[in-house]
Amino acid sequence: MLRVVHTFGRNAGSVELHDRRAVRFGRAPDNDVVFDPNHDRDASSHHAEARLEAAGWVLYDLDSRNGTYAGGQRIKRHPIASGDEITFGAKGPRVRLELVERRPPGPPPTHAAPAHPALAAAPPAPPTGYPAPAGYPAHAAPAAGHAAPVAGHAAGHAGPAAYPAPAPGYAAPAGAHPGHVPAAPPAGSRRVGERTIAMMISSAVSAATGRSKPRGTVEINAMLHKEVHAATAGQRRTTYILASLLVVALASLAALIVYNRSSHDEISQLRAELARLPPEDPRRKEIEQRLGTLHPSNANFGRNLHDRSRKGIFMLASGREGFCTAFAVRPSILATNAHCITAAKRRGGTIVALENEGRGQVSFAVTSMRTHPQYRDSADQLTPDIGVVSIAGRAAAVLELATREQLAAAGAGDDVYLIGFPERLTDAANPVATFLAANIGRITGANGRPAPAAEAWLIQHDARSTSGMNGSPIFNGEGKVIGINAGGYLEGNDETISGQKTEVVKASPYKFGMRIDLLDAILR
């Protein structure tokens, strides 16, 4: 067997014992040893596997992204010695592997029943017709024809250690096993009801010998109930305490859920009201200040958004070169920029969509491409730079698009997030997307001026994106897609070069995207 002791990572301190010939390690839930998918990021989904071979246990690296280390050395195959420290990724989770021998099951231990003072003081009389054992009290012998009431009980119950040996000629009662001593609990253990059972036996013996009247069933049941009630008092107290703590925890959770829900509802209402007010309305400032105090913080939001969306992000590539980002809006339809589709047509050849983190092996051929009917490939004006491509296959994840109400509520200062492939990282052999966080600068019409909500489809933001990020989704603070990143502005400045004044054109740090509902004109 293989014992796995977690020494570093989210599971540090826990111990697992695996009785299998192959034990697999990784972040995916189908592994035998599962690392935390959010905390232990250096470990791959299926990182390594320990196998029991003829010569012993051997650890194999399963082509992991960050490697497997034994004693600080990166390995591909490593014979396991008991106590080996294995690290999954240079800074990832670490375990200690211990080899444990499988112990064959043995016979259960037997124990002699302890003597009880009550039984030693009043041993049961033998049935009529049997000679009394040596040392048996003369006054305890029953009258002729009177059967001992405990004779049948003795057949399945251990006699007390204080009994003397029976005299010659003594025969065992019917149903009893000669020499049989049933197993008793280990010394020092206490069995609930032991005192009660002894009192019941003592009562029966006393009744048989004429010293007292036999107790009735009601009296015995009352005695048994009293003993059991006393023995379980501690367990009941513990149960009451745990139940009280559970009620308090559930009440706190319910209050937190209600508070968060009311906070989100108020945020949505305020954003909707803000969208209806004209830019010069003095109430806008008051609403914006209120929104700043209500915005819920979530330290894990970005990580959760990335993990939920990453398999719905694709790199558009021609040959071995990637040039734009796209994302799934339906299982077989990806959204991107219209100018990316124009570039794909100019490149010619086969255009493919490579799945994010698919190592270049998850690839879908692009079967068709469409642009927005109002898009114009012109540098003089901004037109709806949005389009879709169809793929020969189905995406593993489809991104959730914002509703019209959520789009109308978006405004300057909102947090936004992008996932795409920056220009220097458009490696078709290893497509790994980058996560960016930014803020909306303003939302305007195509001319850069404030416009009614229906016409304000130009979203300006400050994400430091490059051309490879064109076509990437723009998420709002609720994780819904509100736009498609489309590029950035160009700024011209006069500079003196070699004594001559020259206009130098540079990329502006301000970028813009197209509101996602422009897709309606293509997907209908």
Asked if 124 and 154 count as a contact pair (C-beta separation under 8 A), the reply is yes
Pair of tokens at residue 467: 């051309």
Mean pLDDT of 380-397: 93
Confidence at residue 273, expressed as pLDDT on a 0 to 100 scale: 77
Confidence at residue 184, expressed as pLDDT on a 0 to 100 scale: 47
- The 3-class SS string of 354-402 reads EECCCCCCCEEEEEEEEECCCCCCCCCCCCCCCEEEEECCCCCCCCCEC
Per-residue pLDDT tens digits for 89-125: 989 999 999 999 876 655 555 444 444 444 444 444 4
Identify which of 341, 361, 304, 351 has the alpha carbon closest to the alpha carbon of residue 479: 304
Confidence of residue 195 (pLDDT cuts 50, 70, 90): low
Beta-bridge mates of residue 403: none
Alpha carbon distances (Å) from 322 to 190, 249, 328, 343, 428: 74, 51, 17, 11, 6
Alpha-carbon Rg for the chain in angstroms: 40
Element (H, E) at 267: helix 233-276
Per-residue pLDDT tens digits for 166-184: 444 444 444 444 444 444 4
Identify which of 223, 217, 228 has the alpha carbon closest to the alpha carbon of residue 193: 228
With b for 16 or more beta-carbon neighbours within 10 A and e for fewer, the 504-521 pattern comes to: eeeeeeebbbbbbbbbee
The CA distance from 445 to 396, in Å, is 35
- The 3-class SS string of 196-236 reads HHHHHHHHHHHHHCCCCCCCCHHHHHHHHHHHHHHHCHHHH
pLDDT > 90: percent of the chain: 42
The CA distance from 502 to 496, in Å, is 6
The CA distance from 350 to 159, in Å, is 91
Which of 40-49, 284-293, 300-309 has the lowest average pLDDT? 284-293
pTM of the model: 0.47
